[in-house]
Structures are given as C-alpha cells and as structure tokens.
Structure 1
C-alpha cells in the first residue's frame, strides 16, 4: 500500500512543505527527551548543592568537593581554601567557589557538543534529523547573544587551570590517611576517576584540538604537535561520552563527599 504525501515548495526558501511534522516512524524523540532529563537533573542537583553551602569538606581525609573548589568565601574552612579566603562573608546566594563556577558553566554551555545537546533537546532547532522545527526562521549563531558562543576557545585556557586545581584537590588526600600518612580510600578512587574524566573531556575539546594542530599548514614539519593532535583527536571523537561521564563523576564525587561531611557514612579505607 503506497502513502501519498502532498507537498508544496516555497518560492523563497525552496523547501518542501510537508503537512506532517515528520515522516519518521522510529522513536526519534527518545534522544532529545533523555538529553533534557539528564541536563535538568544535573542543573537541579548542582544548583541545590552550590547554594547549600555546607557538607563540602571532610577534614579527616582532606576531601573537598569540586563544586566548592577553590573555596574563597570567609566562611570556608581554612584547610579547604587552597588560595586563601577573601575576608568577606559571601551572601547566601553567592557560591563559595565564585572564581571557578562561572567559568566552568560558560565552558560547558558554549561547548560544541553541549550546543548540539540543548539546541536539539530544549531549543528544538531542530529536535532531530528530518523532524520539522517549531521556529519560522533560522538565524544560526548570528544574533548578539549567540555570538558569545565564540568565547569557548578562551574559556578553554581558564578551565585547564581549574582542572589543575581539581587535580591538586585529588592528590592531597592521598597523603592524609588515617595515620596522617599515605592512604587510599574509596573517596580517593572516586576523586581520581572524576579527575580523569575531567581531563578527558577538557583535552578532547575542539578548542584544544585546534590549539595543537588546527593552524598548521604542514604536519610533516611538526611531528610532535601532530602526535599530540592525533591523541587529542581520539578523545575528541568521544567528546559526547566524556561530557556525560564527567557530569556523572562530578555528581558522584560531590554526593560521596557530602555524605561523609554530614556524618551519614564513613570512608571505606583500602589502605591506612
């Protein structure tokens, strides 16, 4: 049985106008729905934890959640403040990690993968391939606000510095075991995996790939940079995967540290 679809062409756009939103019969909506739910879950959880302003530091093992690093407010525990504290108490709606959180947010929001994620799932431009979008016109990234997406390449350098701070936060607890010496607990492993995912996501960024080899006219004359570009290209091909994994490990790390800091659980020590 044949299905006839009537369409007309606009003399201005040349696009076929099909009465239905799409002719696809697969579950094309599943991807956008899951993406929306995943992003919403992270935003709600992260917002709640950032403004909670408590249960972020475990002094016994020097565990500091990434959501509060570096801790700058005068209310911060002194040992948790890597760069010292600003001698001013922050108001309730100002995050303790005032320096890093806006940069990390801007880096993620302007990331090429996350643009695709929220363009499709939230803005619906388009929702999926071969699915009609609800907008009458398409302007791309030509509007003033959208031009800010180009700042992604500059946020990358700042995020590298913040990821180095996260790496330091991860390394310090290894030397604050139960007896004050070297030790390994479940918290150390969780923080270590989180830092690995953060580096995989950050170094796999399109901006990092461009820095390493995007402007070269000949790879043959720059074998070292070509090798680096090749390794980063492997991470870049999995940028979406590392984007979601880094979100998952960030939430897991913060949740584990918050449970310990609140006294709900104790750290499972593997050594010392």
Structure 2
C-alpha cells in the first residue's frame, strides 16, 4: 500500500490500513436523504420557533384563555393582560428578550441534550458519522469527554425543568376550558390538550426518566411499584424518537392556531360555550 498523501491524517479514509480505492464510500443508495431530511426538519422548526418567540403578539386569546406554549409562563409586564397565569414577576422586556424567556432556555437545553436529538444532529449537522459506511469529514473524535460536548451530561437536570414546564403547560390547558359563559370547549382546547399529552409522552419517555424511576435499583422484586413505573416508561422509551418529532410538529401547530385566533384571522370553532 502506498503511504498517505502529504498533509492528510493517517486516519479514516486516509488510513494506510484502508483499501486503496478513490471513492470515500461504495454506497450507491440514497444514504444522504436521511441526514438531509433531518436537517430540513430541524431547520424549519428552528426558523419558525425563533420567529414566533420574538414575534411579541398573537400568543394570547383572552376570550377563551388560550396561551401558546412558546410564551408560557408569561411573567413580564410586557405580557398581554390576563396571560400571566403565574403573575407578573418582572418589568417590561426589551424587544430582544422573548416573553417566554423563563422556560425557553430550559426547554432548549432539554431538547439539545436529549439522546435522540444528539443522534439526529450529530449525524446530520456535524456528520459524525453522516451514515453507516460513510466517512466523517474530521480525523479525530473525542466523544462527550471534553468541552463543549461534555455539557451533554447535564441532560438529566434539564429533565427536571422540562417536567416542571410540562406541569405548567397542563395548567394552561386546563385554564383554557373557560369561556365568557363558564365552562367552554372548542377546537383550541382540543389542540392544546393533545399537545400537552404529546409533550408528556416525550418527556416521560426520556432516558433520564427511565434512570430516575428504576435505573439505580439492584433488586426489582423489592420495589414492585418502581419496577412497574420503570416498565411503562421503558415501553414509551422505544418511541422516543417519534415523540421527539411529533412534539415539534404539535408545538408549531398549537402556536400557529393560537396565533390565527388571537390575530382575528380565524374564529375558534366552539362546541360548548
């Protein structure tokens, strides 16, 4: 075998132990479609969510108490009257601070450090690796043992914050069952409720939740209740990837619907009240 080309690392496709073929990979299928789709999906959500987070309007329907998850909790004096379910804690925010800034950093941290999302953007954005039998564009890989990727280990702590936010979103959905005549139920309530259920499914199916419920147990027989909970969480965990994508869609749909109703573009379809 010939020696590696000058200035190229002796690893990966340039390793002297690799068969000397000019192609970086012999795969002929559409191996690039999966990372491309992931990139487009994540980019679409990031653009929409960022735009809406700084939009500053169309997040609260006073008549039916609809509050989009992107702005919950709204604790600033800049929030629309009635939308501050937890009260007004802070003064007016400048335009460059989202009204939902209290929860957004923790939710972002929870998603970014999620085991599934790590897999998604490691492969699609960082291309580490892009796909099976496709070489990485970098020569060395240190894993999550050094800065900044070692921060990924904070996921278990973000899980607790995400659970608290899910409780808050549940409260927002319950509060929304109020109308000018008392109890009310409309299409917005249905969307908010389904979104909360999906958010709980994603949060509870988290790997950290499995660890919290039964990860440290040495004898399941001595802890039947925790073992049962761990078993149920494990069943949900097998669909964690699906819930990760579904909740991105449900969050966007919920926010978009609330925005349309709040702006007067459409009228909420009411079933009761």
TM over 0.5: yes
Q: What's the CA shift for 1:141?
A: 1.2
Query: Equivalents in 2 of 1:248, 1:146: separation in Å?
Result: 27
Give matches, 1:1-272, under 5 Å. 16=18, 18-174=21-177, 176-179=178-181, 181-272=182-273
Q: What's the CA shift for 1:14?
A: 8.1
Query: Equivalents in 1 of 2:104, 2:268: separation in Å?
Result: 27
Match of 1:3 in 2: none
Q: What's the CA shift for 1:8?
A: 8.6
Whether the 8 Å contact between 1:187 and 1:257 is mirrored in structure 2 is yes
What TM-score do the two structures reach when normalised by structure 1?
0.93
| 5+ residue gaps, structure 2 | 5-9
Q: What's the CA shift for 1:271?
A: 2.0
- The alignment partner of 1:270 has SS state of strand
Whether the 8 Å contact between 2:77 and 2:93 is mirrored in structure 1 is yes
- Give CA-to-partner distance per residue, 1:172-229, whole Å, 9 cap, x none: 111x1352x2121100010011001100000000000001111111111111111101
What TM-score do the two structures reach when normalised by structure 2?
0.92
Whether the 8 Å contact between 1:259 and 1:265 is mirrored in structure 2 is yes
| 5+ residue gaps, structure 1 | 1-5
Cα RMSD of the aligned pairs, angstroms, is 1.9
Whether the 8 Å contact between 1:7 and 1:16 is mirrored in structure 2 is no
- The alignment partner of 2:271 has SS state of strand
Q: What's the CA shift for 1:86?
A: 2.9
